[in-house]
Structure formats: structure tokens, C-alpha cells
A and B are shown apart, each in its own frame.
Chain A
Amino acid sequence: MAARLSLHDVSLHFGGVRVLQEVSFDVEPGVIFGLVGPNGAGKTSLFNCISGHYKPSAGSITIDGTEVVGLAPSRLARLGLARTFQHPALQLEATVLQNVLLGGHTRLPGDPASWSLRLPFTGRSERDIRAEALELLERAGLGWAAHLPADELSHGLHKGVELCRALLMKPALLLLDEPAAGLSHAEVEHLIETVRRIRTEEDITVVIVEHHMGLISALTERVVVLDHGAKLMEGTAAEAQSDRRVIEAYIGKDAADDAA
């Protein structure tokens, strides 16, 4: 049940600033899709439009054919969209397991009254989701940290915890916002393996916003390059890296001429 994501002429203006201009692309179900571009190209803004945290000024975004522009992020989450944040947003005083369990929220049944009365099904579903969370942590190599407070973990491990939290939502579409930012070389290698494993184990579409070209070429089947809020090109990571317009966007026209 991996989701299909389609963007059609998505534009975003903040006052007079045009952050995104008529961006369109399709993400086929089950692929790993990259969203790249130099700093300030509008990648994260586009990402926030998809996740519902920004509302595009114009255009349409559909997930499996359902128009999602204007839906609250919490509604989108219930439609099967999960995301991670550029700066891992964890509850630092809570344990790692508690953090991950948050991802199970929409999958836990019952209203406040039945949880207050501890009806048997609430306890059962809590135990099940807990076991699932522990297994996700175990598979991510974080089982040992499950009962530690999150603030005892490094930045790199926080990203792993956040990923587990998103996966516990059983998403059909997973958005990763700069997953490699601030990671060491070894951690990036580990991340690449993890994302590959997720894609083989789960039926899921993954969209990655990233600067790290190594990660993009290792993982993605298709990329869209953004520059100044507009789509520059679409193709494979290798095509993007050899595309003259992309090189110009990254290092400037003169430098690109010199390199050529």
C-alpha cells in the first residue's frame, strides 16, 4: 500500500517572496525519491507543503488521488504520511521507547474513558505497540538504548530514534528531511543501509530532501532538482549530477565554465 504522490503546479508565496513556483512531479508508489537543490532552493518549504505544515498558495498535491492541500498535518498523518525533522524533535527527558511509542498514537484504539478505566483492549493494544516499537529499535541497532532518556544519546542516534518513531506509524509515504545532516561518514553509511532495509521490508514510498549527494546517488531511483523555488530538472541521480544546469546552480555559472 505504498502511496503515489503527485504535485501539480505547486506555488508558495510569503508576502512578495516567491518561495516555490509551479513545481510539478509524480512519485511512483514504492520508489525512493530525492528532492535536491542548493541552500534556499525551497526544498524544505516544498516538503512542509506536502506534510501539511505550510499551505501552498496555488496548485494541488494528491496522495493516492486524494487532494491534501488544506488538510491539517494531523489529518495527513492519518492518511498514512509520516515525516522526520531536519533537527530531530524528540522529548529529551522521556525514554527512547516513550519517544518511539508516540508514533503508535493513531494505531491505538479507544477514547479517553476506556483508557481511564483500563479496559482490557487498551492494555492489549499498548503491549502490542510496545513490542513493535522495541522490535523497530532492535532492528535499527538501538535496542540497547530503549530505556535510556533520549538526551543521553548523540545527534546521530536521535535521527535513528526519530526514524523508528515515524515507522511505527506504518506510513504509506515517508518524508525524510535532511536525514544525513550533521551525521558522520559512518553514520551516513548506516543510514543508507537502514533506508534500503526499510524499503525492502515495508511497502512504502520514501521522499528524501537532502544536500548529501552521496546519499542521494546511493539511495534514490529518481530525483527532482529545485533551484530558486522552481523545478530545474528531473531524472536519475547520475543524470542530475552530470546536468550542466544543476552544476551551475550548485557552484555558479563561471565556476561551471571553468570546470568544463
Chain B
Amino acid sequence: MNRFSTLMRNRWVQLGLVVVVAALLLYAPLVLPVFANQTLIRIGVYAVAVLGLNLIMGYAGQVNLGQIFFVGLGAYVAAYGVNQDWNILVVFIASLVVPGVVGLLIALAAARLGGLAIAMVTIALPIVGVPLAKRLSDFTGGSQGTSARFSSAPDWTGLYNDQWQYYIVLVVAAAAFILARNLVRGKYGRAFTIVRENEAVASSMGISPYRYKVLAFTIASIFGGASGFLYLVAVQYTSPETLSFPHSIGLVIAMVIGGAGSIAGSLIGGAYYVLVPQLTNAIDPSFTAISQGVILLAVLFLLPGGLVSLPRVIRRLTRRRTTRSPQGDSPQTTPAEPPPADAAQEGPENTERQIRP
């Protein structure tokens, strides 16, 4: 186990893994059946939505039950742009900027109210969004929705449509994940986390909880918009149903099951969101709802950190069992302070790090 984890920490091993995974992801659509490609595409679409949700909810700790609204908004903006014959790059940027601005305005108001205000306001978004999408039929095509055919594979590529769409989703989703990972690794990740855990401490560190809630919400909305754009790439059609409230709750559940406060967990969440209903539907459609509930409860009780924490939990369990006994309880001592009584609790982990002169 130890040899394995040191091996994984090696820079070249990590780089090699990334190259292998990237090669597999690039090669996969060429050999997989259409249905598998479509499934992977949908995972990418929803993983980006869950990723945004994770930034505001998992990292910054602000309950957001309206993420699907921004996905829908992004999809509608993209559909409108395509039907107006905008350049595809302009369509993409508009489908990020419009949800971003709307998210910013909503957060500026909601974050002022504090407490559960953000959660309440975000519940309202999909509830208002669906009838609004039906009403504004000039932009949205009303209840029938609107289709936008733009993601067929160009001839020069020699690809099938599903393969072409796969590559678009792969590029955008990979960029989103890399950007989000970079963001949470330093200054901003720490700031979001302390806003979640203790606002008084955050503010004494010079981090305004209000500004950082607004920032996280805006970024989450932009990711929602990106997901909406990808949704349109994949489905080429959007309707008021796209942004209905149950989907939003589904995203929250997917985030919790994947792992709140984890970038990798968002990907798992996206996979969960797409795969599990597909699987349970295949077994028995009436089984879907109840199995979803059971899985959610099981994860909440057994793995509060989500599926992404599974390796960590297993590692802790096995380590405790194997190396607990002989040297596990020799706590570190410092000249001035007596050792903390609970420091030896995690025995083996400690002894490993006890490199005090």
C-alpha cells in the first residue's frame, strides 16, 4: 500500500497516467458503439453542471437548488444564437456570459440576505424559469421548445456525429475541470472553504464572505451555462422541461454522492446522474425512484464524503488493522508542549510523518 502511494506521488508516473487516460479518452469514441458515446457525452454535460454546483455548494457552502436554471439558460442562449446564425464561438461565449451575468445579479441580491436566503431564491429560479420559458416563445419556442442543428460533424473530419459531439464535449469539459481544479488549489479554494466553515474567521483574514459567496455563485452559473451549451451540442434541442426543478435536485444529489467539495467527485457525480437512472430503468422503471433514494441514504451514512472518498476510507480501515499495534502509539513530543493526547489516534499515519529531529 505504501509503495503504491509513493509510486503515485512520482511526477513521471502521474504524467504517464495523464497521457494514458487522455489517449484512452481520445481513442474511445472511435471504437465504442453510438449508444456508449452518447452516454459518455451526457456524462460530460452533467459533470460540468455538477462541477459548478460543487464550487458554490461543496466549496463555498451555499445551498444552491437552482443550478439547472443556468444549464437551461445556457442551452436557450446557445439555441437562440445558433438560430440567429451567430458564429459558433460567439454562441459559446454568449452561453457563458449571459448565465454568468444573471447569476451575478441574483447573487448580489441573495447573498445580502444571508441565512437560507440563497437556498430559497435558488428554489425559485427553476420554478419561475419553466413558465417563463413557455411564455417567451419568441426566444424559446414556447412549450414545444426549440431545436438548433449545429453540431453535425463537418465533412473534413470524416467523423460520425456522435464522435464529433463527443470531442466537443471532451474539450470543453476537460477545460472546465482543469480550470476549476486550478482555482480551488490555491488562494480561492482556501477562501471558499473558510467562508463555508467560519465566516468570522474568513472576514478576519480579509476575506469578505459576501464577495466570495457572490464570486462562487457567479462562477457556478458560468459553469452551468457551459453545461447548457454542451447539452445543446449533445441533444440539439431544448425545451422548458430541460430546466425543471426535479432535475436541479438530481444535480444536488449527484454532487453529494460524487463528493461535495471535490473536483474529481463532480465527475463521479456526473456519471452517477447519467448512469444510475439508465441502469435502474433497464432493470425496472418503477425501481428507479426508490433505488435512487436508497443509494443516497447509503452514501450519506457510509461515505459522507461521497464516492470519491471511498479509497481514502478503505485505506484508513486497512491501515488501522495492519499497523496499529506495536509502534503506533508513540506520540511526538516537543520541548515546550506535552503531546496532544489524541495525536496517536491515527497511529500509523502519524508514525510515518514523525520526522522530528
Contacts and interface: CB of A to CB of B under 8 A. Distances in A.
B285 interface: no
A228 interface: no
B337 A154 contact: yes
Contact of A115 (B187, B350, B354): B187
Contacts of A235: none
Given A105-B187, A116-B182, A78 B334 contact: no
Interface string A37-75: 000000000000001110000000000000000001111
Nearest to A118: B182
B341 A77 contact: no
Contacts of A51: 204
Contacts of A144: 332, 334, 353-356
A126 B343 CA distance: 29
A147 B353 contact: yes
B342 A152 contact: yes
B337 A72 contact: no
A190 interface: yes
B205 A169 contact: yes
Contacts of B336: 141, 186-187, 189-190
B115 interface: no
Contacts of A29: none
Contacts of B343: 148, 152-154
A115 B204 contact: no
A116 B180 contact: yes
Nearest to B208: A74
Nearest to B343: A152
Contacts of B208: 72, 74-75
B326 interface: no
Contacts of B341: 154
Contacts of B183: 112, 115-116
Q: Which has the most chain A C-beta neighbours within 10 Å: B190, B336, B355?
A: B336
A168 to B, nearest CB: 9
B179 A126 contact: no
Given A152-B340, A187-B336, A102 B205 contact: yes
B186 interface: yes
A47 to B, nearest CB: 11
B330 interface: no
Interface stretch (B19-27, B35-43, B155-163, B193-201): B193-201
Interface in A166-192: 169, 184, 186-187, 189-190
A152 B346 contact: yes
Contacts of A112: 183, 188, 215, 219
Contacts of A89: 198, 200-201
A125 to B, nearest CB: 8
Contact of A74 (B179, B207, B340, B353): B207
Interface in B192-223: 193-194, 197-198, 200-209, 211, 215, 219
Contact of A77 (B180, B203, B337, B346): B203
Q: Which has the most chain B C-beta neighbours within 10 Å: A51, A102, A122?
A: A102
B205 A91 contact: no
B191 A105 contact: yes
Q: Which has the most chain B C-beta neighbours within 10 Å: A77, A78, A83?
A: A77
A82 interface: yes
Given A112-B215, A186-B337, A117 B205 contact: no
B265 to A, nearest CB: 15
A102 B195 CA distance: 11
A141 B334 contact: yes
A147 B349 CA distance: 11
B190 A101 contact: yes
A89 B205 CA distance: 12
Nearest to A80: B206
B293 interface: no
A102 to B, nearest CB: 5
A152 B204 CA distance: 24
Contacts of A187: 336-337
A204 B193 CA distance: 29
Contact of A117 (B179, B191, B203, B354): B179
B311 interface: no
A115 B186 contact: yes
B339 interface: yes
B348 to A, nearest CB: 13
A34 B324 CA distance: 47
B334 A126 contact: no
Contacts of A73: 200, 203-204
Contacts of A108: 186-187
A233 interface: no
Contacts of B203: 52-53, 72-74, 77
A121 B182 CA distance: 13
A52 B206 CA distance: 11
9 contacts: A74-B203, A74-B206, A104-B187, A112-B219, A115-B186, A116-B183, A154-B338, A154-B340, A156-B337
Q: Which 7 A-B pairs have the closest CB atoms?
A: A154-B340, A77-B206, A106-B206, A73-B203, A190-B336, A74-B208, A116-B179
Given A74-B205, A122-B187, 11 more contacts: A74-B209, A102-B194, A112-B188, A115-B186, A116-B182, A126-B186, A141-B335, A142-B334, A152-B350, A153-B343, A189-B336
